[in-house]
């Protein structure tokens, strides 16, 4: 029983340190405001302000030089858009999922030749 009694202060110290680090991380995230911006409300035109333009990255689509394709639109999440490249017509659904570069994901729905 002496082993448990001797280890208790170290265990409580480690537990307290873990809680302090967790709280500090949570406070830092709240202060930085890391939550993604929500899409503008969709409803009758009289109820909403001018919708903000947002940038979307078309997933699994690249340009000739290898860069990702991005578009800017005011359409809300859930909208399906059409993107035409040289020999391909692709449809994408706009989402509220933020990406690392600040844009939002547009997921592929289908592709036509």
The secondary structure of 40-109 as a DSSP string is PP-S-TTTS-PPPPEEEEEEEEE-TTSPEEEEEE-PPTT-EEEEE-SS-EEEEEEEEEE-TTS-EEEEEE
| Percent of all residues in the chain with a pLDDT value above 70, rounded to a whole number | 82
Structure confidence at residue 94 (pLDDT): 93
Rounded Cα distance between 62 and 8, Å, is: 57
CA atoms within a 13 Å half-sphere pointing along the CA-CB vector of 33: 2
Structure confidence at residue 2 (pLDDT): 78
- pLDDT tens digit sequence for 12-51: 888 888 898 888 888 887 777 655 556 555 555 554 566 7
Structure confidence at residue 39 (pLDDT): 58
Question: Cβ atoms within 10 A of the Cβ of 104, count?
Answer: 20
Q: Is the pLDDT of residue 86 over 90?
A: no
Structure confidence at residue 36 (pLDDT): 55
């Amino acid at each position: 029983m002496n082993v448990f009694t001797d280890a208790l202060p170290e265990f409580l110290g480690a537990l307290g340190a873990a809680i302090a680090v967790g709280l500090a991380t949570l406070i830092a995230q709240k202060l930085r405001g890391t939550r993604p911006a929500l899409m503008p409300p969709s409803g009758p035109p009289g109820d909403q302000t001018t919708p903000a333009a947002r940038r979307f990255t078309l997933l699994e689509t690249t340009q000739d030089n290898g860069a990702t394709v991005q578009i800017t639109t005011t359409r809300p999440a859930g909208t399906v858009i059409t993107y035409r490249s040289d020999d391909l017509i692709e449809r994408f659904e706009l989402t509220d999922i933020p990406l690392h570069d600040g844009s939002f994901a547009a997921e592929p729905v289908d592709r036509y030749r």
